[in-house]
Every structure is written in C-alpha cells, then in structure tokens.
Structure 1
Amino acid sequence: MNNNSLPQIFLNTLNNHKLTIVCAESITAGLLSSTIASVPGASSILMGGVVTYSSELKCSILKIDPSVIDKHSAESMETTVEMVYGLIKIYPSADIYVAVTGIASPGTPEYPVNGEVGDVFIAIYYKRTKPELRLSKFYMNLGNLDRNIIREEAVQTILEKVLDVINSNNLKES
C-alpha cells in the first residue's frame, strides 16, 4: 500500500463505517492526529487528541495512576492501555480510541528509559464490537533508527492496525 494513500484510505474506511477516532499520543507527539488531519474531510472522523509526552501530563490529563508508571514506566504497554482508558473518559462518544507510547531516543540521566530505542506500544479500543474484542494491543521494535523515522513508522503502523481491527470486526459481524 502506498503510504501517501494510506491516510486517504483510512479516512474513507472510517467514513464508510461512520466511525470516529480520538488519539492519545506520546512518542508520536501529535503526528498521528496531524497525519489523519492532513486529508481533506478529516473533521468527519477525527474528534481530537491529546499529546501527553510527560508522565505528569499522562497522570493529570488521562488520569493514569502514577503507580502504573512507577512500576512499568511511561513507555510500556501497561501505560499505553491506561492512556486508552483515560481517553474514553475524556471523549466518551468516539468509536475508536488509540494510544501510543514508546522510545525514540536514548534516555538521559534526568529521564532514564526502561526499554530500547525503537520500542513502540500501541493500544486500540474499538467500541463497536463484543466487549472481549474491544481492546487490541500491539508491540513493535523498529530498531535504533532516527527518532523521526521511528515516529513516522509508528503512525503508518497505527493507521494499518486500526484498519485491520475495523475490517476483522466487520467480518465477524457479517
């Protein structure tokens, strides 16, 4: 699939299914929402998003229990899942919730990271399916690439994974 056409395919698919999306971004720092919004007509599907780059904002805006971050780190699947659930509280009327965290560069003494550069954690919550199928979690390691390449690859993967979730759930409903 041509990456330039992926945002358009994404928009068309969500429009065809009358779905809306909201995003909580850390590693991508708004790039996911911006990519979706780059397609004319995106306002029909994109309700909004939050960038919670710091642990403080993850806790204050998305209401993540600080003990989850203390135990697992700000860049973990556990934190990503909590980000999705925080989004549901903020935007209860959306259909799809996406959260993403990860590590785009080595840590510093002031902010050590727990993991490897290239670790990306994605959580997708899709309300229009059976409760036991609503949450999908994805982990990938993109390797020690340039931080912006990691961010761009994460966005492309998220768009593809959301489409996969929609398509697999719609096949089950047919």
Structure 2
Amino acid sequence: MISVTRIASFNNFLRDKGLTLICAESITAGLLSSTIASVSGASAILKGSIVTYDATVKTKVLGVDAQIIAAYTAESKETTFAMCAGLRSLYPDASIAVAVTGVASLPTTDYVIDKEVGQIYVSIWYQTFHHFETVIKPDKTDDQRNEIREKTVAFILDKIEAVVRDA
C-alpha cells in the first residue's frame, strides 16, 4: 500500500507546478485516481479518470481503433498509446494524461493472452508522449492481483514525477 505521505508528496509536486492530471485506467480499474484522491487537496490536480477495463470502452469512449486491439491485444503498448491519445483528445486542457493497461492475473474466459502476469504498459503525455513497460513481480501469492495493481500505481506516480522533472 502506498503511504499517505507519498501520495501527498506526489499531489503537492504537481500542485506546486500548477499541473493537472487525467487518467485512463484498465488494469488499475480506478485505483490510480482513487489513490491520488485519497488525500486532501487532490481536486487541485485530478481532473478525473475513465475506467476502460473492457475493450469496448476503450474503442467507444477513447476512440481506440478496434484493429489495434485485435492486432496487439487490449494489454499492449500500442493500445495504451491509443488510449492516452484518445484521452488527450477528450481532455486537451489537462497538463498530463496517463493511460495504463496490463495483466493482473490470467483470464478466466476464452480470451487468449500472450503476456505474463504482471506485464504493464503505461503511456504518459506531458509536452510529448512517453511510454513505459515493465513486469511487476508480486511479493505474495495470496493476493497477487491487487498487489500488482498497487505496485502499478506506485510505478506510475514515480514515472509521472520523472517525466515532469526531465521536461
């Protein structure tokens, strides 16, 4: 779990720079925006979040081309980039747009996935697009799904701060 101090530090970092944030979340299913909003003053930076857990939401709300998802899967760098680009089109006044997809557990349906559990993709737009991918390894096996989601949020907070600092 991310500490309140860490979340407040992140929020203060963006607020002090006058930056705002909009999110498109798949693997995190709202956990990123919920984490940011868990401390007082979040309304100064968080514009909102769209949970795009289902591929149809990615296409209908964010305008991701269905052929991208068909060719690369919903959990891919290409889909994440398209999600971020779609988010920028919907909310051009946000300083930062972030989109995240990935694999928190093996599917329980016929959906075939060629990625390992813990594979995540993050696209951040801040002055230009930045792309990150990594494999999040859980420490425990009893709740690896939520541990991967929480570690993904921490990864994103770190990457947003790094992108802003390096700009």
The residue that corresponds to 1:65 in the other structure is 65
Q: TM-score, normalised by structure 1?
A: 0.89
Following the alignment from structure 2 to structure 1, what is the Cα–Cα distance between the partners of residues 49 and 112? 26
RMSD: 1.3
SS at match of 1:62: coil
Alignment deviations for residues 45-81 of structure 1 (CA, whole Å, 9 cap, x no partner):
0001100001111000000000000000000000000
Following the alignment from structure 1 to structure 2, what is the Cα–Cα distance between the partners of residues 86 and 158? 19
Q: Which runs of 4+ in 1 moved over 3 A?
A: none
Following the alignment from structure 1 to structure 2, what is the Cα–Cα distance between the partners of residues 3 and 99? 22
SS at match of 1:5: helix
The residue that corresponds to 2:130 in the other structure is 136
SS at match of 2:67: helix
Unmatched tracts of structure 2, length 5 or more: none
SS at match of 2:28: coil
* Matched-pair contact (CA < 8 Å) for 1:28–1:151: yes
Alignment deviations for residues 122-147 of structure 1 (CA, whole Å, 9 cap, x no partner):
010003xxxxxx11111110136500
Unmatched tracts of structure 1, length 5 or more: 128-133, 170-174
> How many equivalent residue pairs?
162
- Does residue 148 of structure 1 match 2:146? yes
The residue that corresponds to 1:27 in the other structure is 27
Following the alignment from structure 1 to structure 2, what is the Cα–Cα distance between the partners of residues 113 and 60? 22
Q: TM-score, normalised by structure 2?
A: 0.93
Following the alignment from structure 1 to structure 2, what is the Cα–Cα distance between the partners of residues 159 and 54? 23
* Matched-pair contact (CA < 8 Å) for 2:4–2:39: no
